[in-house]
């Protein structure tokens, strides 16, 4: 199974904010969309960062309510790890575990084409395990 299998049911839409947006507006987007991270894109659509609820938590712990007045660019993670749609599910599970994050933007030949979360990966893995178990059960009962 591959990252492209996740995009096939999830689609390629990516929720994003701009680096100059205020943190309060970005938090409103996270809440309204019921997601844990947004990608930060510049005016040309290039990836300049990622803002997750973890970044919000750290900013609030450091600055309290004043954090709400900061810009997204001051709070986001600037160096973003991406994956290819042809990457295997095992590969992205390993990356998320090693790097300790739960989100990966998907980039095909320099073009952003989706965003996957650890929830998407677990869901696909469960489906795969269910299918394997069904196939084994069928094999055993047919024997
Ligand atoms: P998460 O577990 O995804 O909520 O994120 C934990 C931390 O890792 C936060 O500081 C995020 O900004 C950062 N982060 C999340 N995804 C990525 C990614 N794909 N590349 C780089 N940093 C990330």
pLDDT tops 80 at residue 90:
yes
Atom 6 of ligand 1, residue of closest alpha carbon: 101
pLDDT tops 90 at residue 143:
no
Q: How far is CA 8 from the centre of its chain?
A: 15
Q: Which two tokens stand for residue 30?
A: 């996270």
Q: How far is the CA of 1 from the centre of ligand 1 (A)?
A: 23
**pLDDT tens per residue, range 91-138:** 999 999 999 999 999 999 999 999 999 999 999 999 989 998 888 998
Residues 6+ apart with CB under 8 A from 65: none
pLDDT, mean over the chain: 96
Contact present, 70 and 93 (Cβ < 8 Å): no
Contact present, 21 and 86 (Cβ < 8 Å): no
Share of the chain above pLDDT 90, in %: 90
Closest atom of ligand 1 to 118 CA is 3
**pLDDT tens per residue, range 25-47:** 999 999 999 999 999 999 999 99
Q: How far is the CA of 15 from the centre of ligand 1 (A)?
A: 15
Res 142: pLDDT:
83
Separation of alpha carbons 87 and 112, rounded Å: 15
How far, CA to CA in Å, does 140 sit from each of 15, 127, 134, 143?
46, 20, 10, 5
């Amino acid at each position: 199974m591959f990252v492209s299998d996740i995009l096939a049911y999830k689609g390629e839409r990516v929720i994003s904010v701009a680096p100059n947006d205020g943190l309060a507006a970005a938090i409103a987007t996270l809440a309204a969309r019921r997601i844990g991270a947004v990608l930060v894109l510049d005016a040309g659509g290039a990836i300049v960062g990622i803002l997750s609820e973890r970044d919000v938590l750290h900013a609030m712990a450091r600055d309290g309510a004043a954090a709400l007045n900061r810009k997204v660019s001051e709070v986001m993670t600037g160096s973003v790890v991406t994956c290819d749609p042809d990457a295997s599910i095992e590969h992205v599970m390993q990356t998320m575990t090693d790097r300790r994050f739960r989100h990966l933007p998907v980039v095909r030949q320099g073009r952003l084409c989706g965003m996957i979360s650890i929830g998407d990966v677990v869901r696909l893995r469960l489906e795969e395990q269910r299918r394997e178990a069904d196939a084994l059960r069928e094999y055993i009962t047919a024997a």
